[in-house]
């Protein structure tokens, strides 16, 4: 399955937050038309703006730029973990440690 483009990713992030292009553009200190061009893939942000977009949406540049970091179910699990409450993240980590311990000591 082909990964979504930079523009598609920032559009999805924006719409998930129920924001308009003009809302995001204002927060980033750029015009709505420039931001719209990013979403449409007609233009790419400069480094400073890319950093600002990452900070605004609280995502990594690797994610937005499509840098492969994990594959398959690990990528999906990573995304799920990031969206969880910190206490639940801790529970998942403890469960994973318990599974590893069990597998290591199973006879």
Q: By mean pLDDT, which of 5-14, 18-27, 37-46, 92-101 is the weakest?
A: 92-101
One CATH from 1.10.260.40, 1.10.1060.10, 3.30.450.20, 3.30.465.10 for 6-65: 1.10.260.40
Closest CA to 65 of 10, 106, 26: 10
Give me the mean pLDDT over the 8-21 stretch.
Answer: 93
Neighbours of 24 (CB within 10 A): 23
Closest CA to 56 of 30, 21, 28, 32: 28
Task: Give CA–CA dist 78/101, Å, rounded.
Answer: 21
Q: What is the pLDDT of residue 9?
A: 93
Q: What is the pLDDT of residue 50?
A: 97
Q: What is the pLDDT of residue 4?
A: 84
Tens of pLDDT, residues 32-85: 999 999 999 999 999 999 999 999 998 889 889 988 765 656 666 777 787 788
DSSP alpha helix (H) spans, the chain: 6-16, 21-28, 32-40, 47-57, 61-65, 72-83, 86-105
Q: Where in the chain is the domain with CATH 1.10.260.40?
A: 6-65
Query: Is the pTM of the predicted complex or chain greater than 0.75?
Result: no
Q: What is the pLDDT of residue 42?
A: 97
- Top mean-pLDDT range of 18-32, 50-64, 92-106: 18-32
């Amino acid at each position: 399955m082909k990964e979504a483009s930079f523009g598609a990713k920032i559009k999805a992030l924006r719409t998930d937050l129920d924001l308009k292009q003009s809302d995001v553009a204002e927060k980033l200190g750029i015009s709505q038309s420039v931001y719209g061009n990013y979403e449409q893939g007609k233009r790419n942000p400069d480094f400073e703006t890319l950093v600002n977009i990452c900070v605004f949406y609280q995502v990594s540049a690797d994610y937005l730029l499509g840098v492969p970091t994990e594959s398959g179910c690990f990528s999906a699990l990573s995304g799920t973990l990031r969206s969880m409450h910190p206490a639940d993240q801790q529970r998942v980590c403890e469960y994973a440690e318990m599974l590893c311990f069990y597998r290591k000591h199973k006879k």
